[in-house]
Amino acid sequence: MLPSAVLLVDPSPVTARRVAEALGQSGLQLVIARDQAEATAALARTDLGVILVSTHFPGGDGYAFATIAHARHEEAVIYLLCGSGDTYDDERANACGVEGPIVRPFSVETVRRHIETVYGPLGDEAAAVPEVEPEPIDGEEPPALGAEHVHSVEAEALPPVGDERLATFLPRDWRTWPRVQVDPAVVAPAVERAILEVLPEVVEVVLAKALGSSRSFRDLVAVAVDEAVREQLPGIARRVVRERLLEIENSVPDEPTSS
């Protein structure tokens, strides 16, 4: 069977939607595994061409899973989805059969380019998918990753533009042009939606990294949860009791009056 499926091992629905958009109308099937059990079951397939696995996911470790996946699917290309706070272990990744990292937050276009290294161009439908997150600024390396981890599938950085050359792109009267007026009522909702879409994934990565590496942070979270429960529980209990009593009162039929 030809490799016509992409396996994503990641619990985030945002990541799943992003990869699905990258595939577009290419005809490739996206197989989603949210934890170790689902990921192990997915390896029974024989049509996996690309495997995208998070460095941390419920019940599993990205490097360990990549080792098993590479042993069963030697021809499949494996990428690790790394958080900005993760340290990509190049030596360990090579030993696990990993092709390289894809650093969060990543765009639809970034995922598509990596998948195209295996399947070739995915077609106009996939190429037209807009990016939902910006790529890193040219010349700025993602945290914890060195220049040796930049692969040829990424677009090569353009040489810096000198002041003289930059000036040739500007109209002579550019300083006197009126500023563009932006309607906050239009822009604000779009910005809010973008932030809300990205924020859960960023918070998830930060918490997963911190909870897995810092006992003091775990203790701090436990104390905060206990305090929140103690503060909120009495009020919640009172509200539930009041609502229940009101339901009972409303459900009792009125007694008929004697004439």
123-162: buried (b, 16+ CB within 10 Å) or exposed (e) per residue?
A: eeebeebeebbeeeeeeeebeebeeebeeeeeeeeeeeee
Q: Which residues of 175-214 are buried (b: 16+ CB within 10 A; e: fewer)?
A: eeeeeeeeeeeeeeeeeeeeeeeeeebbebbeebbeeeee
Q: Is residue 70 over pLDDT 90?
A: yes
Q: Residue 247: pLDDT above 70?
A: yes
CATH of the domain at 60: 3.40.50.2300
Which of 149, 171, 203 is the last residue before a domain boundary? Answer: 149
pLDDT value of residue 248: 84
Would you state the pLDDT for residue 87?
A: 82
- 227 — phi, psi (to 5°)? -65, -40
* Domain identity same for 136 and 16: yes
Q: Flag whether 81 is in a domain.
A: yes
Phi/psi for 146 (5° steps) reads -90, 175
Q: Are residues 36 and 141 in the same domain?
A: yes
Is 208 a domain residue? yes
Residue ending a domain, choose from 89, 120, 149:
149
Instruction: Please report whether residue 170 resides in a domain.
Output: no
Total domains, the chain? 2
Q: What is the DSSP letter of 138?
A: T
Is 255 contained in some domain?
A: no
At 112-150, the pLDDT tens digits run: 999 888 888 886 544 444 444 433 333 444 444 443 333
Q: Is 120 left (phi over 0), alpha (psi -120 to 50) or beta?
A: left
The C-alpha torsion from 242 through 243 and 244 to 250, rounded to 10°, is 110
35 secondary structure, DSSP code: S
Orientation angle between helical segments 184-213 and 215-251, nearest 10 degrees: 120
Q: What pLDDT was estimated at residue 144?
A: 44
Q: State the chain's mean pLDDT as an integer.
A: 76
One domain for residues 123 and 28: yes
Which residue's structure tokens are 């040796």?
A: 148
Q: Is residue 195 part of a domain?
A: yes
pLDDT score of 179 = 65
CA–CA gap between residue 104 and residue 205 (Å, rounded): 9
Residues 117 and 205 in one domain: no
Phi, psi of 25 (to 5 degrees): -100, 30
| Parent domain of 120 | 5-149
Average pLDDT value for residue range 155-184: 54
Residue type, 217: F
Say if 163 falls within a structural domain.
Answer: no
Verify that 53 and 122 share a domain, yes or no. yes
The reply to whether 27 and 115 lie within a common domain is yes
Are 23 and 144 contained in the same domain? yes
* Residue of 203 and 159 predicted with greater confidence: 203
pTM: 0.51
**Best-predicted range by mean pLDDT (2-11, 74-83, 167-176):** 74-83
* Model pLDDT, residue 188: 76
**Residue at 258 is within a domain:** no
Tell me the pLDDT band of 72, cut-offs 50, 70 and 90.
very high
198 and 131, same structural domain? Answer: no
Which of 149, 173, 207 corresponds to the end of one domain? 149
pLDDT mean over 195-206: 77
